Structure 1
Amino acid sequence: MRLNALHITHYKNVSSAEYQFEKPIHCFVGNNGKGKSNTLDAIYHLAMGRSYFSSINAHTIMHNKEFMRIEGHFAREDNIERIECQLKRESSKAFIRNGKKYNRLSEHIGLLPTVMISPADVDLINEGSQTRRSFIDRLIGQADKGYLQQLIQYQKILQQRNALLKQMGRFAQNAQDTLSIYNQQLVQLGTPIHKARIDYLTAFDPLFQKRYATISQGNERATLVYESQLKNSDFTTLLEDAAVKDLQAQFSTVGIHKDDLLFQIDDYPIKKFGSQGQRKSFLIALKLAQFDMLKKSTSVTPLLLLDDIFDKLDEQRVAEIISLVHESSFGQLFITDTHPERTADVIKQTEQPFELHSL
């Protein structure tokens, strides 16, 4: 898959920009604050339906402007996909494919597989389980629309169940039947989600192991451990056993919304015991394995976006990533850096055509 053209208007700090992309490697270079990362984020937004760096839609509109608009022309297989995103203040976001507005944004996910590697990825290690579940869900959701729809429905029922639990003290007798219905729906939706996570992570793990061994040169063993309350008990039993606890807490304490993905180096938590170098290697391997998995499961070569990697990683790790361009499995790369000379020197080693875009 390739991105042929990009048009940006009032996206974050990018007032207006237009690009034509004919080469396999494109580098956005310039001083900090010029909009390099936000240009990369605009590409990600078009592919994934959301900003990589902000969960609040209004934050993607340039300060003192009333709207933002981004448009990309993607070559996918033998088709050109014209994707447009529009957002006005106090309005909902409009996502448009080839002139037709999506009824649901979830319909777009998976059309344009994309992977971002960014310094912000450290949140996967430092933040709570929700961040890692989101990583799993984006990985699977880009390849399996059925999974994505089940997940959306699960979250909807979960919110309704939690709202009911907050009212149970006043309407306990009348609410029991409704609670039982919610329990059944959570089981029906959550059980296949749990199975899909197991299946995808089982296939994902060897890809991750291979990438980590290459980057770390086999000096240690990195592992991914999928933690779920459904591991040793079926969902129905979990909900029954947690009934009293849920009423006291006034929210659902068990379910696949509590799953986690543990990151370990030689069986020790990387968050507590991993060095900075090990953490960086782990995250790069994780994202490159995500690239491999998406390519395998969608049969489409994803875009690879590398944000600020030269300033955040040592030369060895940068070289490992850039060397991947030699592999036939990789397609189009977009990179940001503050030093054009450094960027050009490293990219030239790939012997691939590239273009620098100065901001």
Structure 2
Amino acid sequence: MHLQKLSLLNFKNFETQNFCFQEKINCFVGNNGVGKTNVLDAIYYLSFAKSYFNPVASQNIKHNEDFFVVEGEYKMPEKTETVVCSLKRGSKKVLKRNGKVYEKFSEHIGYFPLVIISPADRDLIVEGSDVRRKFIDSVISQSDKSYLQYLLNYNKVLAQRNSLLKYFAANRTFDAINLKVYNEQLNTYGSEIFKRRNLFLEAFIPIFEKRYQVISNNNEKVNLAYKSQLLNTDMLSLFEQSLERDRMLQYTSVGVHKDDLQFEIDGYPIKKFGSQGQQKSFLIALKLAQFDFIKKQANVKPILLLDDIFDKLDDTRVAQIIHLVNNNEFGQLFISDTHKERTEEVVKATNKPYKIFEL
């Protein structure tokens, strides 16, 4: 699988732009602000129907325009497929594959697997637990459709339970039977989510540790620790124990929506005790492990986007990534960088076909 063509219309800073890609390595070079990352984000859009960098879809429309269109043409093993994602101001986003409109975007996730490595990944270390949960969910969802459905169902019921708790508070009333219905549904979905996250991390953590050891030359020991209230008790017991607190707070304070991943280096939180270089290595290992996991589960090499990657790495780490490209571990690769000469020197060393786009 590889992306052959990309067309942008009123997407971010692009009025109209067309690209024809090489099936191995494609590089976007130019000064800051010319739109290199925006092209990578458009490719991300084709896989996930959303931006990696900006959750507000309407802000991806070019200034003073009413709509955007991102279109991609993929070469699959036996056929060519077309994906179009468009948005008009004031309307719902539309996603089509081969001319057919998706009713649910979730049906599209995993069809064109993709992994991005970006400076924005630092949020995984410095931001709250929701960012790390989204990472886990994104990796599992690309190879497990039913997991994504459990997640969507859980979040829908969670919103309903929270609304009911607010209603109780506003009307000074309480209905235990009504609340119990939501508790049981959340227990059904949440227990399955917890089970699959556990199984995922059992498989994922050794892959991640191996990646980190290679990148860091075995200098430190790293770990991912799964934090969940369900490790010690079941969902229904949690709801029972937190009932009074939930009524007071007017939202659901326990459940798998509170899960977290703790990033550790030599037994300590990397956020506090890891150097910048260690944190960068940790994040790259995390994303390469994501690539490995999806490749194994889906039996296809995901598209890999490297945003401003060489600017953030020393020569040793760059050499390591090039070694991986040489080993044919990767499929199609997209790179953005500010230095054309540096990029060309790096990709030439891979001995793979490449194309450079100056923006």
Q: TM-score range by the shorter chain?
A: over 0.9
Q: Which amino acid aligns with 1:339?
A: H
| CA distance in 2: counterparts of 1:33 and 1:9, whole angstroms | 18
1:4 maps to: 4
Matched, 1:157 2:145: no
1:347 maps to: 347
| CA distance in 1: counterparts of 2:99 and 2:275, whole angstroms | 49
How far 1:310 sits from its partner (Å)? Answer: 1.7
More off after superposition, 129-138 vs 4-13: 4-13
1:88 maps to: 88
| CA distance in 2: counterparts of 1:63 and 1:316, whole angstroms | 41
1:248 maps to: 248
1:304 maps to: 304
More off after superposition, 6-15 vs 110-119: 6-15
How far 1:178 sits from its partner (Å)? Answer: 1.4
How far 1:345 sits from its partner (Å)? Answer: 0.6
1:77–1:300 contact (8 Å) kept in structure 2: no
How far 1:171 sits from its partner (Å)? Answer: 4.6
1:144 maps to: 144
1:261 maps to: 261
Q: Which amino acid aligns with 1:190?
A: G
| CA distance in 1: counterparts of 2:273 and 2:94, whole angstroms | 44
1:31 maps to: 31
2:207–2:292 contact (8 Å) kept in structure 1: yes
| CA distance in 2: counterparts of 1:16 and 1:204, whole angstroms | 40
2:128 maps to: 128
2:3–2:23 contact (8 Å) kept in structure 1: no
| CA distance in 1: counterparts of 2:45 and 2:91, whole angstroms | 17
- CA RMSD between the two structures: 1.1
Listed as ranges, the matches of 1:133-212 within 5 Å are: 133-171=133-171, 175-212=175-212
| CA distance in 2: counterparts of 1:195 and 1:80, whole angstroms | 37
Q: Which amino acid aligns with 2:21?
A: F
2:140–2:147 contact (8 Å) kept in structure 1: yes
2:25–2:333 contact (8 Å) kept in structure 1: yes
Gaps of 5+ in 1: none
Q: Which amino acid aligns with 2:5?
A: A
Q: Which amino acid aligns with 2:218?
A: G
| CA distance in 2: counterparts of 1:222 and 1:285, whole angstroms | 10
Matched, 1:277 2:277: yes
1:37–1:336 contact (8 Å) kept in structure 2: yes
Listed as ranges, the matches of 1:225-236 within 5 Å are: 225-236=225-236
How far 1:169 sits from its partner (Å)? Answer: 2.9
| CA distance in 2: counterparts of 1:136 and 1:329, whole angstroms | 22
2:4–2:23 contact (8 Å) kept in structure 1: no
1:302–1:331 contact (8 Å) kept in structure 2: yes
More off after superposition, 19-28 vs 143-152: 19-28
Listed as ranges, the matches of 1:73-84 within 5 Å are: 73-84=73-84
1:164–1:175 contact (8 Å) kept in structure 2: no
Q: Which amino acid aligns with 1:178?
A: N
Tell me, what secondary structure is at the counterpart of 1:115?
strand
Q: Which amino acid aligns with 1:350?
A: T
| CA distance in 1: counterparts of 2:153 and 2:23, whole angstroms | 41
Q: Which amino acid aligns with 1:89?
A: R
1:143–1:298 contact (8 Å) kept in structure 2: yes
Deviations 1:111-147 (A, max 9, x none): 0100000000000000000000000000001111100
Deviations 1:85-126 (A, max 9, x none): 010111110000000000111110010100000000000000
Deviations 1:165-212 (A, max 9, x none): 112135565532211100000001100000000001111111101100
2:11–2:60 contact (8 Å) kept in structure 1: yes
Q: TM-score, normalised by structure 1?
A: 0.98
| CA distance in 2: counterparts of 1:305 and 1:322, whole angstroms | 14
Q: Which amino acid aligns with 1:58?
A: S
Matched, 1:338 2:329: no
Tell me, what secondary structure is at the counterpart of 2:96?
strand
Q: Which amino acid aligns with 1:337?
A: D
Identical residues among aligned pairs (%): 53
Q: TM-score, normalised by structure 2?
A: 0.98
Tell me, what secondary structure is at the counterpart of 1:15?
strand
Tell me, what secondary structure is at the counterpart of 1:309?
coil
Tell me, what secondary structure is at the counterpart of 2:310?
helix
How far 1:22 sits from its partner (Å)? Answer: 2.7
Tell me, what secondary structure is at the counterpart of 1:110?
coil
1:60 maps to: 60
| CA distance in 2: counterparts of 1:352 and 1:168, whole angstroms | 63
Q: Which amino acid aligns with 1:31?
A: N
| CA distance in 1: counterparts of 2:329 and 2:306, whole angstroms | 17
| CA distance in 2: counterparts of 1:49 and 1:177, whole angstroms | 39
| CA distance in 2: counterparts of 1:32 and 1:329, whole angstroms | 30
From the superposition, tell whether residues 329 and 313 of structure 1 become closer, same or farther in structure 2 (CA, over 3 Å).
closer
Q: Which amino acid aligns with 1:255?
A: G
1:23–1:355 contact (8 Å) kept in structure 2: no
